[in-house]
Amino acid sequence: MHHGTAQLADPARRARARLLMMTPTAQGLMVTGGSEARIVTRHGDVLYCDCPDGVQLCKHLLAVGLHLA
């Protein structure tokens, strides 16, 4: 996910993403506040999430993207 991708998300998903919290870990950023904690990692300019919503812009990726913007 690139930082500009946050604008592509629907308003409801952006609102949910803004409620999530991030904590740095050795693996990446732990995103909490949803049903389960998820780890978002960064490889170059691309962010990856370990949630099952991996093909779409999940709220975890969106939260980190908004945080980094």
Predicted pLDDT of residue 1: 47
Share of the chain above pLDDT 70, in %: 84
Query: In the predicted model, what is the mean pLDDT of the chain?
Result: 83
pLDDT band for position 34 (cuts 50, 70, 90): confident
Cα dihedral sign, 16-41-21-35: positive
* Residue whose pair of structure tokens reads 């952006």 in the numeric block: 14
pLDDT at 4 over 80: no
What is the residue-wise DSSP string for the chain? Answer: --GGGGGGS-HHHHHHHHT-EEEE-SSSEEEESSSS-EEEEEETTEEEE-STTTTS--HHHHHHHHHH-
pLDDT at 21 over 70: yes
Predicted pLDDT of residue 41: 94
